[in-house]
Structure formats: C-alpha cells, structure tokens
Structure 1
Amino acid sequence: MKIGLYFGTFNPIHVGHLAIANHMAEYSDLDKIWMVITPHNPFKKKSSLLDNHHRYQMVQRALEEYPKIEASTIEFSLPQPNYTVYTLVHLQEKYPDHEFCLIMGEDNLKSLHKWKNYEAILENHEVYVYPRISEGVIETRFDNHPKIHRVAAPIMEISSTAIRNGIKEKKSIRPLLPYEVFQYLDEMNFYKS
C-alpha cells in the first residue's frame, strides 16, 4: 500500500489542509493519506501548540467522512524534537509492506536541502509537492529529480496562525474550519486569549 504522509502541527486543522489531503487521496496514485500530527516541529515555537491530545481530537473529527485519510499519532511516541528522517525509518520498520511518501508544499521543498539527512529521504521515498503562492525564487534544485512529483492541487493559502489570531480578536473564522473542529474549539474555548 502506498501511503502519503502529510506532516503538520494542525494547530488547528483547517479546510485548506483537508482540501490538499483529499486532492492527494483522489488525484494521485497514493492509496491512503496519513495526517501525521507533529508534537514539536524543530522550526516552530512549542509554546503556541495545543496539547497533542486536543490536536489529535480535532484531526480525528475533521476526517470522519474521509475514508482515504486518517490521523496518525506515530510521532507522539518518538524522541523530541521530531525529524522526518527518523519518523520514516520508524514507519518502514513498523510497516515493512507499506511504501511511504512525503506530501509537502512548494515552500517546504525550497528548504528540503536543509532537512536532516535529506539525501536519505530522497533516496528511499517519493515526495509529492503541492503548489503554494511563493515569494522569491522557485526551487529548481529538485526540478528533474525522479522522486519528486509536483501535483496540480488547489492553491490553499489559509493559515492556522491567522485562524488563531482571528479567534483571539473575536473575528468570525467559521468558514475556514470543518464544522466539527469549529465546534470543538468553541466548546473548549481554545485560542481565545
């Protein structure tokens, strides 16, 4: 089975995440998409993250009607901070019959050469790249790489940071979230202060 790994803090998960994951599930050769909830990204401040449990609950609720997409907590039990290369090694050992691929935005492709052991990642895994509105130079270093596939997914420029700020400022952000996620955030009073 070919699994696309869509990593993120999902703080919170929003309709942009869902649109991209669903597009990858429906319009690529990936059999399933695992949304891997990252406990701590080495490039993000941990203090702004909701607890792992709450972010997992939101992702789980958002995916109830998407049979090809599921939430994964695989990184919760791995050493912190998480590095993708270690997660991939762990998954390959745990599920030797699966082929794991990465899903990332064009913005992440620009910095892929800075990732820990990125050569090993590209040697052993395919990468599916979705477009982002980009500033500066488009990454050409990987243009003809046989393991990198650009997918004409919808461009989604919705930001979890903007959603959190909107909630804090008492703005209506309802259209940006799956209904179940909006309900959960509202019930739990998250991001309001």
Structure 2
Amino acid sequence: MKIKEIIVVEGRDDTVAIQRAVDADTIETNGSAIGRHVIEQIKLAKDRRGVIILTDPDYPGERIRKIISQKVPGCKHAFLPKKEAISKNGDDLGVENASPEAIRLALSEAQQEEDEWVEQVGLEELLALGLIGGKKARRRRERLGDLLKIGYTNGKQLYKRLIVFKIRAEEFSEAIATVFKEEDNE
C-alpha cells in the first residue's frame, strides 16, 4: 500500500513501524519540543504532498498533534486506538507497538480537518450523556473516540474534535448508542 502523503510521527521506531505496514515517507518530530525546522518541513510537505499526523495515543502524542495542527492547519489525522498501540508486555504505549494491519487501517481512515461542522452536538448533550464528568465518562469518551476514529480526548477536546471532524449528529448518535449497548452487555 503506497501512501502519497508524508506521515508525521514522533520518532525512529514509529518510522520503522510505518514502513513495515506501508510504503510511505515520514517526518519525525523527535518528541514534543518540535523545532522550527521540523514545522517548516511539515509545512512544505503539506503544500507539496499532504500530511497525515499519526502520533501515540497518549498525552504527549496529543500535545504534538495539537502543536502541529495549530502551526500547520489542514493536515489529515490518523488515530490508533490505545488497545492497538500497547506493547505485548503492557508497559509501553506507542505507534511502534501497533501491528501493520492496525497502522494500515488507521491511515486508510485518516480524516481531514475542516473549519465548520455540519450539525453540532452541544456541550449540554455531552454532559447529559455522561461524556463529561461522572464515573464512566473517561471510558465512554475513549470508546467513542475509537468508534468515530477521532482518538481519545478529554471532555473539552471531545467537543472540539466533533466540530473539527464534522461529526454529524447521526454518526454521533449511532456511536454513543453502541457505547451504551456495550456497557449494558458488561
């Protein structure tokens, strides 16, 4: 599988994992202190070929994604569910631990950032559905992020991602219904 866009990853091990999965070029951020020269490379890559950001599904990975999104708007985003990025012994979380199949799936479902959202789901609805605050909120948001392919978020980020990725009310309703159904079956 050949990927025309350049994939932005955190480090060398991520590049190796990407190249096991697909034929693609990468740019490595080498951590969350992203230098000006790396941002310039990403800008050039976006203008010439397009960019897909694929960072670890953890706080530093989300921080890197946010920095790049702010400095280089219009990138595509690919997300790996946490369960796909955990090492075999369970002590490491990252793209480098994902199977080639999981990486290919995440890249094939990469989503373009856009400026507006078709139908809004309000903060009040997120609160009423137990996605912000409450005992099960974190787990619900994590599962919802997997189903909608938008990655894990905290409550505030969830609202923003729903807008950024133009998640329609219908898509949201189907995904949250699945989350509740799974909870009922536990």
Structure 2 length-normalised TM? 0.35
Flag the structure with higher helix content: 2
Flag the structure with higher strand content: 1
